[in-house]
Chain A
Amino acid sequence: MYDTVTAPTDQLSPAAPARAGGEAGWRIVARTAFPFLVVGGAWELVAHLGIFPARLFPTLEQVAATFWHLTVTGILPHHALDTAIRLLVGFALAGVAGVAIGILMGRSRFAEDILLAPVSVIAPIPGIAYAPLFLLWFGLGNVSAVLLVGFVSAFPVIFNTWTGVKAVKEIWLRSAEAMGADRRRLFAKVILPGALPYILTGLRLGLAQAWRILVGVEMLAAVPWGLGWLIFGAREFLATDVMLAGIAVIAAIGLALEKLVFQRLEAFTVVRWGMMT
């Protein structure tokens, strides 16, 4: 349930030498690089053999050249910046609302009964399906994109927070109560730390959801800048190299958010409390 992507970076970071079992740094780097070399080599082989048309299956050199060209001319950074701003604003809305609703649903049976039905009806409807509706209601452009991203990414946060609050061990609650904890303390010292691994997972999933929906929304909505639009527009020109360069930037931003934001947060909270290793 923790949707863990932690292992490789944990081993890469110098802060976790114990878990790497005292392996030398270069070995770990080599081990991580190895699968990419295998896949990259296979790609190069297929591209150079000319099994598929070069426009559809460009070599990695060509993708790299396109990437460099787009970066130097400032086109790619501009697209990326616009996308990142939309993502962060939307996700901030989702995080605040999602955690609040999730905790409410986990603690109060009344709230659970009332909210679970609408949440379960709305959540499985793919966010991208709301895109045309949001575009009609809020107009083309940033407002629709940000609202949709926030709306959609709130659901994983709600579900995971809810599950996490419910999964807090009965025995912890009882022992805390037996030791005289009042409701406020029970919440702050037992329930919240207990549910935090799930909440963080929810936030992660929410961020991933926001990310995935945003790219789709940018393809559908007429936004002048954005990575989704860049990729989709490249289709018209059969520019597979531009698409792959755009996808590489998307992967880099997604990875950076994951590693820089969440793993730090996790290390400082749940791992330190021994909730999760």
Chain B
Amino acid sequence: MTLSPDHRRRMVRTTASLVALAAIYEAIARSGFFPPALTPPLSVIAGTLYASFADGTMPLHALYTLQRVLIGGALAVAVGLPLGILMARFRPVEHFVMPLVSALMPIPSLAWVPVFILWFGLGDAVTIAIVFYAATFPMLLNTWTGVRSVNPLWLRAASAMGADERRLFWKVMVPAASPFIITGMRQAFLRAWIAVVGAEMLAASNWGLGWVIFDAKEFLNTDVMLVSLAVIGAIGLAFERLVFGSLERTTVLRWGMVRAAKG
């Protein structure tokens, strides 16, 4: 595969910036300015990373966390997407749902953790419920805004060219709203990812990346913490770049709805 010069330049700069960051951290860690327990050098972190993958604990923790996020996130999309479209298309639905959403939205999902612990007991149900709560609102609001913000000219043009209601929906409204919907999924995933780790910390369940970090704090295992953070970040980045990035490339970028930076 030959890379375009544009792509190559981007990769080089990305790598350079990450290497520079690592070098700065290593310099701070080695300087002995802070206690080594709090800023372990990268070699120690790498060792811990290897060990935790070699004995299979870290992948298992990650699997538990991913499972909770995916179940909760799927539920959120299943509810948020249709409801958002309904709200944009039908006024009574909007009038009923919007006040409730406005009242619930400002409540952080983590605030419900203690309540859900009492209601559902410790375990997966709490985490999944928190993920669902966190992911539904961005999905819902972005879909709603997206469908509403479809350029009326496009609708009229399509109607004038004889598109029926069904076609208008699939060929005009959905593509036009898709940048918003994809942004909604992105935000929903980011929020779900935040919520799941917080919920795992608070509703301790022995498995899950959030639980690992919280557990490590008790023993001042900064290396374990940083490894878990790295794993959490890697999974997040993979989703952001691979899942949402490719989703965006095959849809909105190809359709010319948004464009890359220039200059």
**A interface residue numbers (CB < 8 A to B):** 1-5, 7-9, 31-36, 39, 52, 56-57, 105-110, 112-118, 120-133, 135-137, 166-167, 170, 205, 208-209, 211-216, 219-220, 227-228, 231-232, 234-235, 238, 240, 243-244, 246-247, 250-251, 253-255, 257-258
Q: Does B105 make an interface contact (CB < 8 A)?
A: yes
Chief secondary structure at chain B's binding surface: helix
Q: How far is the CA of A31 from the CA of B108 in the complex (A)?
A: 26
Given known A-B contacts A124-B233, A124-B236, A247-B107, A5 and B101 have beta carbons under 8 A apart: yes
Q: Can you list, as one digit per residue, whether each of B25-47 has a CB less than 8 Å from chain A (1) or not (0)?
A: 00000000010001000000000
Q: Given A136-B38, A254-B108, A257-B106, 15 more contacts at CB 8 Å? A: A1-B180, A33-B99, A34-B96, A121-B18, A124-B236, A125-B229, A129-B229, A132-B214, A135-B217, A208-B105, A209-B194, A215-B108, A216-B110, A234-B114, A251-B106
How far, in Å, is A45 (CB) from chain B's closest CB? Answer: 17
Chief secondary structure at chain A's binding surface: helix
Residues of B within 8 A of A214 (CB): 108
Given known A-B contacts A118-B21, A219-B202, A238 and B107 have beta carbons under 8 A apart: no
Residues of B within 8 A of A132 (CB): 213-214, 216-217, 225
Q: Which B residues between 232 and 253 are near A, CB-CB below 8 angstroms?
A: 232-233, 235-237, 239-241
**Interface-located stretch among B8-16, B53-61, B154-162, B166-174:** B8-16
Contact across chains for B115 and A124 when beta carbons are under 8 A apart: no
Q: How far is the CA of A57 from the CA of B187 in the complex (A)?
A: 31
Q: Can you list, as one digit per residue, whether each of B94-109 has a CB less than 8 Å from chain A (1) or not (0)?
A: 1111111111111111
Residues of B within 8 A of A250 (CB): 106-108, 111
Q: How far is the CA of A114 from the CA of B13 in the complex (A)?
A: 6
| 26 contacting pairs across A/B (C-beta < 8 A) | A4-B144, A5-B105, A8-B102, A113-B9, A117-B18, A118-B21, A124-B190, A126-B197, A126-B198, A128-B210, A167-B258, A208-B106, A212-B108, A213-B108, A214-B108, A216-B110, A216-B201, A219-B113, A231-B111, A231-B115, A232-B113, A232-B114, A235-B118, A238-B118, A243-B114, A247-B107
